[in-house]
Amino acid sequence: MTQHSDDKADSRQRESRGHGGPESVSGALMSEQVFRQRLAALCRGPIQVDFTFNSTSLVRASLVRGVTKIRIQHAFRAADDKTLMALADFVQKPDASSQAILKRFVQSRSELICFFAEKMDLARFGPVPEKLLKGREPRVQAHHKNLEKALAKVAADYGLDAKGIGILWSQGREIAGPRRTSIRFGSFNSKSLTIRIHPLLDSPEVPDFFIEFIVYHELLHAIFPPTKKTGERRSIHTGQFKQRERLFARYDEAVAFERRFAREKLGMRIK
């Protein structure tokens, strides 16, 4: 297959900066071109592959004028032979077997998927750290709080299944401001099964029970996914979700602390 012109441009940009980009690290990631060639060899008929940083729609395929057009997240460049074969089957005629293999790949590479999802411009970042390619994402350095310990405690205290769920500090996007009336200290990605906590909470001023409350809230999202009925808006915090959330042992204290912290430290008045 002919290398796309944008791939050539990306290659020249990376070379001019003195590094080979993420695909150069330990050979753990295939180059975009090699990926296209290997996948094309497994497919019937011509294909066109475009890479994305999407974290919600990881693989999408459509047949356009006899060409299978595939949009796929960069993390799949770490696919092994078995995953590539399943991917070829999936984009042409998906079955339960290929779907199961791809699901296992997504679960095993969840943090690599998250890493790419946070990089909206490939030309901006340098080599992927080797430890990431072994399944560990570079993490924001914590100084006061242990998220893994908090997750384990919450799961044990409330009998919740946290198997396969990862937890880490987010990159610290701005969340404060006088015009803000709501705040988001945590998030849960259902595709990568990852809980992220805002690093503002990594402070001795934040009590452990509040960290546990945020972790508990996000873990509930894994148990009670959003619902949507015909003609209605998508509901993220269902009645069942809210009822379960109130079972947190120090719910009232946690809510009160959240409002006080937002007002005194962030200059916000949340609802």
> Which residues make beta-bridge pairs with 51?
72
| Mean pLDDT (whole number) for 175-199 | 73
Helix boundaries (H) for 30-93: 32-42, 81-92
Per-residue buried b or exposed e for 179-217, using 16+ beta carbons within 10 Å of the residue's own CB: ebeebebbebbebbbbbbbbbbbbeeebeebbbbbbbbb
- Residue 250 burial class via C-beta count within 10 angstroms: exposed 0-12, middle 13-18, buried 19 and up: middle
188 within 8 A of 158, measured Cβ to Cβ: no
| Mean pLDDT (whole number) for 17-44 | 68
Does the pLDDT value for residue 15 go beyond 60? no
- Which residues of the chain are in CATH 3.30.2010.10 domains? 147-266
Please, what is the average pLDDT of the chain? 76
Give the CA-trace dihedral at 44, 47, 53, 58, to 10 degrees.
-30
Q: Tell me the pairing of strands 186-189 and 194-197.
A: antiparallel
| Mean pLDDT (whole number) for 189-208 | 88
| pLDDT tens-digit series, residues 110-144 | 878 877 776 543 333 344 444 444 444 445 566 78
Integer Cα distance of 36 and 110 in angstroms: 22
Instruction: Give pLDDT, residue 230.
Output: 63
Does the pLDDT value for residue 26 go beyond 60? no
Gyration radius from the chain CA atoms: 21
pTM of the model: 0.49
Integer Cα distance of 202 and 187 in angstroms: 16
| Mean pLDDT (whole number) for 257-263 | 87
Identify which of 84, 51, 258 has the alpha carbon closest to the alpha carbon of residue 175. 258
Helical (H) or strand (E) element with 260: helix 251-266
pLDDT band at residue 157 using 50, 70 and 90 as cut-offs: very high
Instruction: Give pLDDT, residue 25.
Output: 29
Provide the angle, in degrees to the nearest 10, between the axes of the packed helices 96-108 and 110-117: 70
Comparing 2-6, 76-80, 99-103, 258-262, which segment has the lowest mean pLDDT? 2-6
Domain 147-266 grouped into CATH 2.60.120.40: no
Identify which of 108, 99, 89 has the alpha carbon closest to the alpha carbon of residue 43. 89
Integer Cα distance of 244 and 241 in angstroms: 5
pLDDT band at residue 173 using 50, 70 and 90 as cut-offs: low
* 162 backbone dihedrals φ, ψ, rounded to 5°: -105, 15
pLDDT band at residue 270 using 50, 70 and 90 as cut-offs: low
One-letter amino acid for residue 84 of the chain: L
190 within 8 A of 207, measured Cβ to Cβ: no
Of all residues in the chain, what percent carry a pLDDT higher than 90? 28
Per-residue buried b or exposed e for 221-248, using 16+ beta carbons within 10 Å of the residue's own CB: bbebeeeeeeeeeeeeeeeebeebbeeb
